[in-house]
Amino acid sequence: MGRKKNKNKMGPILPEKKSGISGEKLIKDDIESNNSLNSSSKYPIDIISRLSYPFIKPSEKDIISEDDEEEYEFNFRPRLVFSCNLCLVCLKFCDSSASCEACGMVSYCSVKHRQENLPQHKDLCKVLTEVCKTNKGLLLAKDLSPDQYRTFRVKLIETIEKGLGRSLDLWEKEIILYPRLCRKCHQREGLLCCPKCRMDVYCCEEHRGDHDQWCDQYQLFRRILSIQKSHGNVVPELPNRRHKEPYTLPQNLDHQIAELFEFSQYYKKMDCHTYASLSHIATVPLTTLFAIQKSYENWKTKKDFSVDIIGAEFHFDCWNLRIWEKMFLHYLPALNSLTLTFTGPELQVPQVLVEILAKVKICTQCRTSGRSISVTFNQEKLYHEIDDLTGLNRPDVICLFNPGLYRETGFNGRDTWPLTIRKFCKKKIPVVITSYTEKEIPQDIQRIKSVSDVEVILEPQKNPFAALKPDRNFVSDDTVPLMYKNNFITIIQGKI
Ligand SMILES: [Zn+2]
Ligand SMILES: [Zn+2]
Ligand SMILES: [Zn+2]
Ligand SMILES: [Zn+2]
Ligand SMILES: [Zn+2]
């Protein structure tokens, strides 16, 4: 998965020497000196506006890294995704008439793709047919309450796994979690499909419900799946923009990205998949910085920051740590040393990458002025298990991104949260908690309060620096069909 790549020797190139400089400069000067709102080019281009943009190939990037050393690129192949209206092989739209004749649960755009997929689908199809057709499995979902319907689907997965004698992959689970049934009454007769996004199905106009509120996001979800299918995951280019003055974060991520890229050509052309991927890596440092600006009066002058990230996941938090330079270190000119400690029972960093990732590459100017980013991975460890005998570990802020603290199923069936909650509350420092949906955050706070005495520094609210990549939501799918990482935020602190 790690690929070593030698970049062309080009010598240091500063961002000011980019091509197309005059146009860029003009816009930049506009932003700084002219507040009149007559130039449309200075409005951020949000992700929905980028829906129709063609994929921006890496060669079209107009930003060149100023270092010419070896760079590691991580190419993770995107996982398979199931959607009931899309061909399992090519993700093209297809209606119910194209369903697998046997199980009726998956669709194909053509006979060719059906045949192509047969070897992989065969075993699962047999069990699906037995459970869903012979035993009237999915027909039993009709008119269940939202909670009953969720339990029903979880149980169905268990039955299928038993029948298959193995656990299902994520995309296979999606066949059961998001089947072609009306989202309201869960029946399968005479289903209609939204003609715009073609991603949501309902049995009648009434059961279409609040779909219009989600249609744009469904379109985005589908468009990202489609670009991802053809071009794989992308690693967005990151400009080097060092600030001489402490940077107060703007109103939201769209504004921040526009400012970071100074409305460059690359910025103007970024497709929604690239933009979503950028938001996905940026949300981690920006949400942390946002929390620091909310809870530390001296954030502008502080010389070191130490951040503990609890429940870290390699694919979300850890693989692109250079983002911490571009969107954290470069925003705080007084900051000399940034310490990041990632801990989590599910954190697994491939052995060959531990050293490479922990040595975060920073730009020449930061390096020569003695600034540093130190990284520690506490792999497969729970936060409360980490030795803290010396008392030396005093982070300034603790982050829990999308932890789902309210869940009592915990890790491997053990509810380990109470011990972790007690430990981070005892430190009496700001603790940032985020969630996928609005509903979860108050439940998280309630969970913390059931263990420790805390005060809420920042009331639960929409996180302006949430990720913009939609994913389907299961836990409250009747009201919120799509969700985003770090979507809602709160800050708490153990009471002194
Ligand atoms: Zn196809
Ligand atoms: Zn089938
Ligand atoms: Zn219905
Ligand atoms: Zn729609
Ligand atoms: Zn730097």
Chain centroid to CA 25: how far? 32
C-alpha to C-alpha distance for 315 and 254, rounded to whole angstroms: 23
Residue 226 has pLDDT above 90, yes or no: yes
For the chain, give the number of residues.
496
Closest CA to 94 of 127, 117, 119: 117
Q: For residue 111, give Cα distances in angstroms to 184, 199, 233, 441.
A: 32, 22, 28, 46
The ligand with the least distance to the CA atom of 124 is 2
Q: Record the pTM.
A: 0.87
pLDDT of 410 reads 66
Q: What pLDDT, on the 0 to 100 scale, is given for residue 234?
A: 87
- pLDDT of residue 261 exceeding 80, the answer is yes
Give the distance (Å) from ligand 5 centre to CA of residue 239: 10
Q: Which pLDDT value is given to residue 319?
A: 82
Q: How far apart, in whole angstroms, are the C-alpha atoms of residue 208 and residue 478? A: 12
Residue 21 clears pLDDT 50, i.e. is over it: no
Residue 141's CB: how many other CB atoms inside 10 A? 20
Give me the DSSP letters along 20-78.
SHHHHHHHHHHHHH---S--GGGS---TGGGTTPPP--GGG-----S--S-EEEE-PPP
Half-sphere exposure of 115 (CA within 13 A, CB side): 3
Q: Is residue 325 within 8 Å of 366, Cβ to Cβ?
A: yes
Which whole number is the average pLDDT over 340-368? 91
What's the pLDDT at 356? 86
- Give CA separation, 5 vs 74, 230, 234, 329, 445, in Å: 10, 22, 16, 25, 45
> Relative to the alpha carbon of 200, which ligand is closest?
4
* Helix spans in 209-341 (H): 211-231, 253-261, 265-269, 272-295, 323-326
Question: What is the whole-number distance in angstroms between the Cα of residue 216 and the centre of ligand 4?
Answer: 7
**Rg over CA atoms, the chain:** 24
Angle, to 10 degrees, between the axis of helix 146-164 and the axis of helix 170-177?
140
Among the bound ligands, name the one nearest to the CA of residue 211: 4
- CA nearest to 304, candidates 375, 233, 211, 371: 371
**pLDDT of amino acid 95:** 74
253: amino acid identity, one letter: L
**Domains (range + CATH), the chain:** 96-230 (no CATH), 246-494 (3.40.50.150)
Q: Which residues are close to ligand 2, an ion, with C-beta < 5 A?
A: 100, 102-103, 125
- Confidence band (pLDDT; 50, 70, 90) for 54? very high
Look over the chain and give the mean of its residue pLDDT values, rounded to a whole number.
86
- Residue 64: is its pLDDT beyond 50? no
**Alpha-carbon distance 154 to 173, whole Å?**
9
Q: What is the pLDDT of residues 306-352, one digit of tens each?
A: 999 999 998 888 888 999 999 999 999 999 999 999 999 999 998 88
pLDDT the model gives residue 135: 66
Distance in angstroms (rounded) separating the CA atoms of residues 280 and 147 = 30
Torsions phi, psi for 54 (to 5 deg): -70, 155
pLDDT of residue 98: 77
* CA 90–ligand 1 middle distance (angstroms): 4
Expressed in angstroms and rounded, the spacing between residue 176 Cα and the centre of ligand 1 is 20
